[in-house]
Structures are given as C-alpha cells and as structure tokens.
Amino acid sequence: MRKVMLSLAMLSLLSSGGCTTAYNQRQFALRTDAEICSRYGVDRKSQVYLDCMAAQEHRRDVATARHTGLVGEGTEAIAGPVY
C-alpha cells in the first residue's frame, strides 16, 4: 500500500509540473517584454507602452510559428515524398 501511495504522489507531482512550467514560461515572457518596453521610458499606463507590449507578443508569436514551420518542414524531408 505504501508503494502505491508513493507512486500516486510521484505521478501527481510529475503531471502538475507541465502546467507550472507553461505558466512560468508565460510569466517570464511577460516580464521580459515589460523590461524591453520599460527601457523606452514611457508610462506603463500609456498607449505607447501597450502598443509595445502587443508588438513584443506578436514578435514572439511569429518566432514560434517560424520555428514550428521549420520543424514541420524538416520532418517532411525525413518522411519522404507525399504522393
């Protein structure tokens, strides 16, 4: 019974780690964007700051899409031609 409980505890820790990691990555990205936009010296409540944050998020989304596309393109070459 003790082994079962220990296994369940380990499984719950491992399964919850993925959500925490994704949350932490998002928080890190937001902090990085805020630092970049703050370097311009504008007020955080201004429209310029909000536009900067939106531009940073768009930049990150484009980079992710480009990376995903390159990975997908590479796997087609490995799989062979599609008929």
Question: Which residue range forms the structural domain that includes residue 37?
Answer: 2-79
Domains in the chain: how many in total? Answer: 1
Residues 32, 20: contact at Cβ < 8 Å? no
Write the CB contacts of 53 (distance below 8 Å, at least 6 apart in sequence): 33, 34, 37
Q: What is the mean pLDDT of each run of 10 residues along the chain (83 residues)?
A: 58 55 88 92 91 93 79 53 56
Nearest to 35 by CA among 44, 26, 24: 44
Residues 37, 53: contact at Cβ < 8 Å? yes
Distance CA 71, CA 66 (A): 9
Output the pLDDT for position 37.
92
